[in-house]
């Protein structure tokens, strides 16, 4: 009988996972570390970008006006275009983008369009410079709110820009915009009614429209100027203000209408005029007397004082018959303490 050999049972196969290899363990450890690091990282907000102030300027220089509007009078002057170009060069050197309108280009439509473009463009912190060199004039105040019953004007080429219009346009600038207005002209009632002794055809010419011309011009275009004033009065509102702006009071023009306009000023406005109300701004061969002294004090940017000091030094360099005036509109305290033409 054959012998039987018991069969061997195969060894059982283990189903337990084998320990991880070294590279796999290292990768797992690295992933864990990356996750922990990412969780610990604090995401910082993006840095705020500071907007650089923008500077714009508008320069008006009129050596003549249209005889068609001014009753045959051309109002010839010599240095107003030089003034405008020199002020534009100053503005450009200070980082502003200047616009220059000379004589025939300085029309009502172009001047108002340039002012409105600037007021619609500039924002808080920005800067606007406006300079005017030319004749000042007057029209009757049909609203009866001026003490002398006359509205002062700038003589643009094809018509006059009434002072109320200028203030209304300046009131359109946004809060925080700084505005400097320089006016090398004369247009007060006392000036246009009587020129200083010695002023005549020989020598320097006063930058004023003769009273007879002012009267003829107003009479020829009375409907136009009367409507302008009434429209401005309607826009500004007629409610009286208990505390009239001191700046307007110093000008002798603290009418209800102008006070209402100024009460809504958001921009800071500094205005320097070529002379007092009872004086004359004189023309010259290369510059007006006021602009010439201004440029001399500025010394191509070497002047380092503030607006009050700037005005005082300009005034000190002019004769007693021409004393520039300084006044402010809006909250201009900070601006007054700055160096002029600072964008």
0.85 surpassed by pTM:
no
Sheet with 150-155: strands ordered across: 136-140, 150-155, 160-162
Distance CA 211, CA 141 (A): 15
**Per-residue pLDDT tens digits for 295-317:** 999 999 999 999 999 999 999 98
pLDDT, mean of residues 46-65: 90
Signed CA dihedral, 82, 295, 307, 125: sign only: positive
pLDDT for residue 143: 63
Identify the architecture of domain 55-336 in CATH: 3-Layer(aba) Sandwich (3.40)
* Closest CA relative to residue 211, chosen from 71, 102, 78: 71
Identify which of 230, 194, 225 has the alpha carbon closest to the alpha carbon of residue 212: 194
d(CA 148, CA 277): 12
Q: Where are the domains of the chain?
A: 55-336
Task: Read off the pLDDT band of 47 (50, 70, 90).
Answer: low
- Phi and psi at 87, nearest 5°, equal -70, -35
3-state helix, strand, coil in the chain (%, to 5): 40, 15, 45
Average pLDDT over every residue of 146-173: 85
Q: Does residue 153 register a pLDDT over 60?
A: yes
pLDDT tens sequence across 82-129: 999 999 999 999 999 999 999 999 999 999 999 999 999 999 999 999
Q: Which 8-state DSSP code applies to residue 175?
A: T
pLDDT tens track for 232-278: 877 765 433 323 333 333 333 334 445 555 556 789 999 998 776 55
Whether 133 and 84 have beta carbons less than 8 Å apart is answered as yes
Nearest to 217 by CA among 138, 103, 281: 138
8 A C-beta contact, residue 247 and residue 326: no
Tokens of 265: 């000023």
């Amino acid at each position: 009988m054959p012998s039987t050999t018991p069969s061997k049972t195969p060894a059982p196969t283990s189903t337990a996972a084998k320990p991880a290899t070294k590279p796999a363990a290292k990768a797992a450890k690295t992933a864990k570390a990356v996750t922990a690091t990412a969780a610990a990282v604090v995401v910082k907000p993006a840095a705020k970008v500071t907007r650089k102030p923008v500077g714009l300027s508008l320069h008006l220089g009129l050596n003549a006006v249209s005889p068609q509007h001014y009753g045959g009078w051309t109002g010839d002057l010599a240095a107003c275009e030089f003034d405008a170009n020199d002020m534009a060069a100053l503005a450009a050197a200070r980082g502003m983008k200047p616009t220059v309108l000379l004589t025939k280009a300085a029309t009502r439509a172009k001047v108002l369009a340039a002012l409105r473009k600037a007021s619609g463009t500039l924002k808080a912190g920005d800067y606007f410079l406006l300079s005017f060199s030319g004749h000042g004039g007057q029209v009757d105040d049909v609203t009866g709110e001026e003490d002398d019953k006359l509205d002062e004007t700038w003589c643009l080429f094809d018509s006059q820009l009434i002072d109320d219009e200028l203030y209304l346009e300046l009131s359109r600038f946004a809060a925080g915009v700084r505005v400097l207005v320089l006016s090398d002209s004369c247009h007060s009632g006392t000036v246009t009614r009587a020129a200083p002794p010695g002023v005549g055809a020989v020598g320097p010419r006063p930058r004023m429209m003769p009273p007879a011309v002012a009267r003829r011009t107003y009479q020829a275009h009375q409907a136009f100027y009367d409507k302008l004033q009434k429209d401005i009065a309607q826009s500004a509102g007629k409610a009286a203000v208990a505390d009239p702006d001191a700046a307007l009071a110093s000008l002798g023009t603290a009418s209800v209408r102008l006070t209402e306009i100024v009460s809504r000023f958001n921009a800071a406005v500094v205005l320097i005029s070529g002379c007092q109300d009872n004086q004359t701004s004189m023309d010259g061969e290369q510059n007006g007397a006021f602009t010439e002294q201004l440029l001399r004090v500025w010394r191509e940017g070497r002047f380092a004082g503030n607006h009050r000091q700037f005005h005082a030094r300009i005034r000190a360099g002019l004769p007693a018959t021409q004393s520039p005036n300084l006044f402010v509109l809006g909250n201009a305290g900070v601006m007054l303490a700055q160096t002029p033409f600072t964008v």
